[in-house]
Amino acid sequence: MKKFLQITLLLTTTTLVQAQVAKQDVLQSGPMCGYADMREAMLWVQTIREALVFATYYDVQEPGIVHKTAMVATKHDEAYTARLIADSVEPGKVYAYAIYVNMKQAVLPYATTFTTPPLWKWRRNPPEFTLMTGSCAYVNQHEYDRPGTPYGGEYQIFSHMAGQKADLMLWLGDNVYLREPDWNTRTGILQRYTHTRSLPEMQELLATTNNYAIWDDHDYGPNNSNKSFINKDLTLQAFRLFMGNPGYGTSEMPGAISSFQWGDADFFLLDDRWYRDADELAGNNKTMLGSKQLDWLFNSLVSSQATFKIVATGGQFLSDAAREELFSANGFNEERLKIIRFIEENNIKNVIFLTGDVHFTELSSYKSGTGPTIYDFTFSTMSAGPNKQGAEWKNTYRIPGTVVTDRNYGTIRFSGTEKERKITVSCFDSNNVKKWEKTFGAEY
């Protein structure tokens, strides 16, 4: 019996090694599940050289009917990336998929699936679903990093995140850290995106959860960069090539801007860099979002019929600590107050800002009189260096017991009947230990 177990273990180990080798032979990174809607979903891959790629997929409840995406040729000038469109999906389904490169299947050591949002309106209660989120993913590369103690670490956090089996993952910016050799050329930018995306611990999370993203200064350009960054067109090209959003601004409003729906939540993904005035610019009536994006946000919020309105932006919104790159600092506070007043005057309920950047986690809430409660859920940092002083920042709106200054990520579970919806927010450290959990009921 012992000999049989040893042989079985050897065969299993050999299979896993072969699978990993097979993957390395065909793929540089990925696959990644990008956006998913009721009739279409996107799968992303990156190969190590020019190749022909496509995906097959099937409803796990009907495995006999297999669909196939169009074939895409990966190219050097697109960093050998491909967006594969699954256009034969239906709402509320789980699909198993496989990636083929040059007509050979890429064998992976984990199951690959994606989920489409359900069609529920006027039919039943909103679905229960889980959003996972976090910011600041630094991956060390010693030859390009600053001397001294490595800034990144505890990459096992991404494996634990994959284990949550969440429906969605929303990356809250600084998903890539461009360094000095990177941001001045397209070659450097694409190589940095490739290096980060290729982290082994990240692959299962990418392949098994629908991924969406915003950006912040480090994946946009240099530290604390603003609208003056001369190569922002190049970094937007890289963001489009490597991320999984359904769109990226409009012809009249370029930038890393998008929106999508899942269940009874509308998500608005903001760009806090493309239109941002310099932090050092004198004055108090400065803009972080720009007039066109702000107008788009206001119209989107008042038009939304969803229970929850989720607004994702890089830097903390509610906190009045006025430190670093918070919305309350550097002359941007008037725009912050304008947004708060707009939400109050239009009685827009259940607005939740999701933010990152500060390298520590905390929840904030604001309510004035009979106005709606506004939340700001900050989750930072996943693998970049933590901000151990974050707990000392003076934030009037902090919800007690929610500060975490270790590496961490968050989950938000949406549940309840249509008129009794609630969200359960949880924070986990890099070893998957739950640090706290809070539940908030929707306002009606």
Interstrand relation of 258-262 and 265-269 (parallel, antiparallel or unpaired): antiparallel
| Boundary-marking domain end, from 115, 144, 178 | 115
Res. 190: pLDDT tops 50: yes
Dist CA 263 CA 266 (whole Å): 8
Domain assignment present for residue 311? The answer is yes
Sorted by sequence, the CB contacts under 8 Å of residue 70 that are 6+ apart come out as: 54, 84, 85
Q: What is the pLDDT of residues 335-385, one digit of tens each?
A: 999 999 999 999 999 999 999 999 999 999 999 999 999 999 999 999 999
Query: DSSP string of 196-218?
Result: HHT-GGGHHHHHHSEEEEE--HH
Domain count, the chain: 2
Are residues 276 and 415 located together in one domain of the fold? yes
Q: 2 pLDDT band (50/70/90 cuts)?
A: very low
Are residues 76 and 193 located together in one domain of the fold? no
| Boundary-marking domain end, from 81, 115, 149 | 115
Are residues 140 and 95 located together in one domain of the fold? no
- The per-residue b/e assignment along 328-337, b for 16 or more CB within 10 angstroms, e otherwise, is bbbbbbebbe
Neighbours of 195 (CB within 10 A): 18
Give the pLDDT score at 13: 37
Are residues 81 and 140 located together in one domain of the fold? no
Domain assignment present for residue 369? The answer is yes
User: 0.85 cut: is pTM over it?
Assistant: yes
Domain assignment present for residue 319? The answer is yes
Unique residue bearing structure tokens 């020019």: 50
Give the pLDDT score at 372: 98
- Beta-bridge partners for 268: 259, 311
Average pLDDT, rounded, for the chain: 94
Q: 18 pLDDT band (50/70/90 cuts)?
A: very low
Unique residue bearing structure tokens 């359960």: 424
Sorted by sequence, the CB contacts under 8 Å of residue 37 that are 6+ apart come out as: 116, 117, 246, 260
CATH code, 107: 2.60.40.380
Q: What is the pLDDT of residues 217-268, one digit of tens each?
A: 999 999 999 999 999 999 999 999 999 999 999 999 999 999 999 999 999 9
Are residues 75 and 203 located together in one domain of the fold? no
Are residues 103 and 159 located together in one domain of the fold? no
Are residues 314 and 405 located together in one domain of the fold? yes
Dist CA 206 CA 108 (whole Å): 13
Domain assignment present for residue 389? The answer is yes
Are residues 33 and 137 located together in one domain of the fold? no
Asked which of 22-36, 266-280, 410-424 is least confident by mean pLDDT, the reply is: 22-36
CATH code, 278: 3.60.21.70
Res. 161: pLDDT tops 70: yes
Are residues 137 and 111 located together in one domain of the fold? no
Asked which of 24-38, 157-171, 368-382 is least confident by mean pLDDT, the reply is: 24-38
Give the pLDDT score at 152: 97
Give the pLDDT score at 25: 72
pLDDT over 70, % of the chain: 95
Q: Could you say which DSSP state residue 242 is in?
A: H
Are residues 190 and 93 located together in one domain of the fold? no
Dihedral sign computed on CA atoms, order 294, 214, 50, 234: positive
Mean pLDDT, rounded, for 153-162? 98
Give the pLDDT score at 11: 34
Domain assignment present for residue 122? The answer is no
Q: What is the pLDDT of residues 41-92, one digit of tens each?
A: 999 999 999 999 999 999 999 999 999 999 999 999 999 999 999 999 999 9
Dist CA 218 CA 244 (whole Å): 18
Mean pLDDT, rounded, for 287-312? 98
Res. 21: pLDDT tops 50: no
Give the pLDDT score at 14: 36
Q: What is the pLDDT of residues 107-140, one digit of tens each?
A: 999 999 999 999 999 999 999 999 999 999 999 9
Give the pLDDT score at 26: 84
Range of the domain at 106: 2-115
| Boundary-marking domain end, from 66, 91, 115 | 115
Domain assignment present for residue 121? The answer is no
Res. 8: pLDDT tops 80: no
Are residues 301 and 365 located together in one domain of the fold? yes
Are residues 152 and 96 located together in one domain of the fold? no
Domain assignment present for residue 123? The answer is no
* HSE, side-chain direction, 13 A CA sphere, residue 402: 22
Domain assignment present for residue 215? The answer is yes
